[in-house]
Every structure is written in structure tokens, then in C-alpha cells.
Structure 1
Amino acid sequence: MRTTLKILGVKIDILDLTGAVNRVIEFTKQDSAARPALIVTPNSEMLALASSDQELFNILNSAQLATADGIGVVIAARIMGQQLPERVAGFDLMQQLLANSASGERSFYFLGSKPGVVDQAVNNLQEHYPDLNISGYHHGYLNQENTAEVLQEINQQQPDLLLVGMGAPLQEKFLAANLSRLKVKAAFTVGGSFDVIAGQVNRAPRWMQKAGLEWLYRLLQEPSRLGRMMALPYFVYLVLKNRFIK
């Protein structure tokens, strides 16, 4: 049975990483005729955006699994008088799913990132997991023509898990528009994860991840993210307003 709490009106699953992995694996066992499950990983920035983007808000709440991707979401739950077991980052969830599927138990399709980057990500994964079942991949720079081709290829391959890394909210809106037409068991939004796997972007050291400072590490790597980071204090303001101002 699904147990959730709400942050700014968006449902977040009360699960640790192991629980989230098990939930996704259950999705991949469902009947092929069932509607594909949507898996999203809201962070503070996305939740702040959803507060003023009704379409994104509705998409996040339509998901069958929404994990707390960011220490800000965990802290927000505490402010609201609730508790999340831990932060469940989308990248960590994806890594665990890939490791649990290393013998080919489940098939994957990778969609997203720049041309060439997703190719390198797939190559790196195949070196690390030689038996990983990757049914296909394509970059995320889509137009009307190649979107139709990609959707057709996905439906021909019928992967268990479709991983979409286009960044928020593009990836969520892409799936909202197309998921009902796709022959997959589940679709999972993974943001910039392909860039990390391809070696284009470094992830924060483990101690910074545990300290909730991964956002700072990313900002130091990519100063152009400063404008996006302004969503964080706005998120804090929204949470405090929601908690204390009725």
C-alpha cells in the first residue's frame, strides 16, 4: 500500500532507497497491458516551480512513485511536522536499479542528454555491466520527426524501464504527453544522470552528499546554475508560509 506525505501539495512517497527500488521492480512485473507507471524525483527547485506551474503540479501528483530528491525536501517534511526516512536521489535510485538488473533481468531504454553524451553513457554502462539489457537509446534533442521515430523504436523494443533525462520540467511534460502511447512497464525521469555516467559532470563527494551540500558542489562546477538556485530560498519561503501562515 502506498504511503505519502505532501510538500506544497505534491505527494512524496515515504520510502527509503531500498523501498523505492523494490517499488520500481514491482512496476516492471506488471501486466504489459497495464498503463505504464510514472516515476518522478522532485527536488526543492521542482517543487517551487510546480507551485506556479499547474501542469507540472498535476503531472507530479499523477506519478505512481515520487521520491525526495534533495535534502531540502527532507527538511521541508520536518518543518511540516512529518518525517521522510531519507533523501532518495534519482541518480542513486537509477544506479541501484541498474546494479539490480546487471544480469539482464530487466531491459532499459535511455532517452535524453546531448547527442553523443547518451552514447558514451551507454558505452560506460556496458563496460561496467556487460550483461545489462539495453534495448536502445537516443539523445533528448527531439523535433516532431525524430520524436515519432523514437516513440516507434521504443514501442518496437518494449523495454521494461524507459529512463528519460531531459531536465525538469521538459522530461515530465514529455512523458505526460506520450506515456499513454508507449509500450513500457514504467518511465523514470532521471534529469542530468546520463551526463554523470558519461563522465561529463562529476557528482559531489559522498561526504557532501550526506551533508546535504550536493547543490553547492554543482553550483561550484556550473556557476551558470546560480539563477536556478534562486528557487531554493523561494522554496523555503513557500514551505514556511504553508506551515505557519494560514
Structure 2
Amino acid sequence: MSSKNNTAFGIDFYTGSKAELLACIRDWIKQPYSYLVTPNMDHLARVRNEEAFRDAYDRARLRLCDSRVIMPLLNSLGVHVKEVITGSDLTLDLLKWANEDHLRIVLIGSTSAECGKLLRMYPNIKLDHYNPPMGFIKHPEEVERCLAFIREHPSDLVFYAVGTPQGEILASKVQSHERTGMGIGIGASISFATGTVKRAPKWMQEARLEWLYRTTLEPRRLGKRYLNNFMFIIPAYLRERNLKSRKAANSAKPDH
């Protein structure tokens, strides 16, 4: 599933299908705790520039390509990802499975109203919910409250719906010996799943324009972020391409 050949932008990407991943997760929820992360353009920049976030990525069990913009860049760099696996789509699959199998989920983040709607939509899920205050990741006592809640509520899945980088950093602070189950940073996926926030139309998703749709909904919060992301990705891609070209040229040189 993973090798040095799958590395780009400092990230070792999962290159399998979503069906293969879901089959693995069915086994992993019974094992010592681990977690998944979902690289998009914002994450690529953070991995490069933020030590705590980079450490959280290094500790993750898998790193899934979450971006239809990134996927063709990866393929051109020789990292052949079978399909984009967005956190939102994966969350819907996990919720459906959890409802069918009566699984238990710990949800960190989201509102009580969203949780109520979620349980009406998926009545067989056993849900334990804790919503930390804004900016909690900067306050060790608030982080510890989250970790204590996660430790004290055994579950099959742990959803971190507290945004980036909070979700990934929090996920990395749960130790594998403390519990079993799988964690995943899901961002706004619960809001999408419950209809609190509408996702882009399917045609915009397939045309790699979901970022534009979200910007029109939240221009102040997302406009600058996406601009910075595009300013980052172009030179980062060129550096990656040149690096891989040099490595290929060096490996092709005959030994003397």
C-alpha cells in the first residue's frame, strides 16, 4: 500500500482504492489505535512549514489523497493514486457501515444540533460526543480534556471534526496502547453529512472546482487560504518534478 515510490511533497501517499481501504479499516478497528490523514493543498503547505503538523502526518497509519487538484500532479510525478478519497465521502461510507453494524463512534467537535440530526439519520450508531472550545489546541488543559474523553469512551471509530491542524495534532496525541479503534480527521464532514453545509454539485467536484464553490460560501475564511495554497503548490510541484528528474538521471548513470 505504501513505499518510497509513493512519496511526493514529503508525504507517503496511499495509492489503493477506497474499497480496499474500507476492507482494511474493518480489521484495524479491532487493533491498537491508529489514525488516517487526508492530504489536500492546505495540508501540503502545513507539512512543509509546521513541525507539529508534520509530526502528526509522520505518525499516521495512512495518508489519503483528498484532492482532485493534487491527484493529476501526483500521477505526473510517478505516484499513481487509484482514486481520490475525500474525507467527506469516506465519512459517509463509515457512517453507513457504522449504522449497519451498530458501531460506536467518538465524535470530537460538531454541534449538539448536528449530532441530533446525525442520530436521526443513522439511528443504530452509538455516539459519544464532546465539543471543545474554539482554540482549544493552544491550551494544554483543554487538549487533555479531549484526550481523557477519547480514552474514557472506547469506540470503533474516532472522528475529529475540529478542523486542521487541530484534528490531526489531537489524533496524534492518542497513544496506541491507550485504546483500540481508528481515528480520522474529518473537517466539516459532519456538517456536509447532515446538510448543515451543502457540498458543491457533483459536476463541480468532478471538474476539480469544489474549492471555488466553498470559497463562494465562505469568502473571508477560505479566499485567502486557497490563494495561498495555489501560490504554494506551483513552485512546490516544480521542485518535486526537478528532484525526481535528478534522481532518475543519477540512477540511470552506469557504475564505474
User: Does the CA-based 8 Å contact 1:44-1:235 persist in structure 2?
Assistant: yes
Higher-Rg structure is: 2
Look up the equivalent residue of 1:24 and give its one-letter code.
I
Which residue does the alignment assign to 1:244?
Answer: 242
Q: How far apart in 2 are the matches of 1:56 and 1:156?
A: 25
Tell me whether 1:214 sits opposite 2:207 in the alignment. no
Look up the equivalent residue of 2:84 and give its one-letter code.
R
Look up the equivalent residue of 2:22 and give its one-letter code.
V
Q: How far apart in 2 are the matches of 1:173 and 1:145?
A: 15
Segments of structure 2 that go 5 or more residues without pairing to the other structure are: 247-256
Which residue does the alignment assign to 1:20?
Answer: 21
Look up the equivalent residue of 1:88 and give its one-letter code.
I
25, 28, 34: which one pairs with 1:37? Answer: 34
After TM superposition, the structure 1 = structure 2 runs for residues 74-153 of structure 1, keeping only pairs within 5 Å, are: 74-113=71-110, 117=111, 119-134=112-127, 136-141=128-133, 142=136, 143-153=139-149
| Offset, 1:144 | 4.6
Segments of structure 1 that go 5 or more residues without pairing to the other structure are: none
More helix by share: 2
Look up the equivalent residue of 1:19 and give its one-letter code.
E
Task: Report which stretch shifted further, 56-65 or 81-90.
Answer: 56-65
37, 46, 50: which one pairs with 2:43? Answer: 46
Which residue does the alignment assign to 2:2?
Answer: 3
Change (3 A) 1:223 1:163: same
| Offset, 1:60 | 1.1
Tell me whether 1:73 sits opposite 2:70 in the alignment. yes
Look up the equivalent residue of 2:82 and give its one-letter code.
P
Q: How large is the Cα RMSD of the aligned pairs?
A: 2.0
Tell me whether 1:202 sits opposite 2:198 in the alignment. yes
Deviation digits for residues 70-99 of structure 1 (CA, Å, limit 9, x no counterpart):
112212212213311111001111110111
152, 164, 181: which one pairs with 2:160? Answer: 164
Which residue does the alignment assign to 1:154?
Answer: 150
Change (3 A) 1:139 1:200: same
Task: Report which stretch shifted further, 46-55 or 8-17.
Answer: 46-55
Deviation digits for residues 166-214 of structure 1 (CA, Å, limit 9, x no counterpart):
1111211122233457424121111122332343321111111111111
After TM superposition, the structure 1 = structure 2 runs for residues 175-194 of structure 1, keeping only pairs within 5 Å, are: 175-180=171-176, 182-194=178-190
Which residue does the alignment assign to 2:60?
Answer: 63
Structure-1-length-normalised TM-score: 0.87
Look up the equivalent residue of 2:122 and give its one-letter code.
Y
Q: How far apart in 1 are the matches of 2:86 and 2:154?
A: 26
Structure-2-length-normalised TM-score: 0.84
User: Does the CA-based 8 Å contact 2:143-2:170 persist in structure 1?
Assistant: no
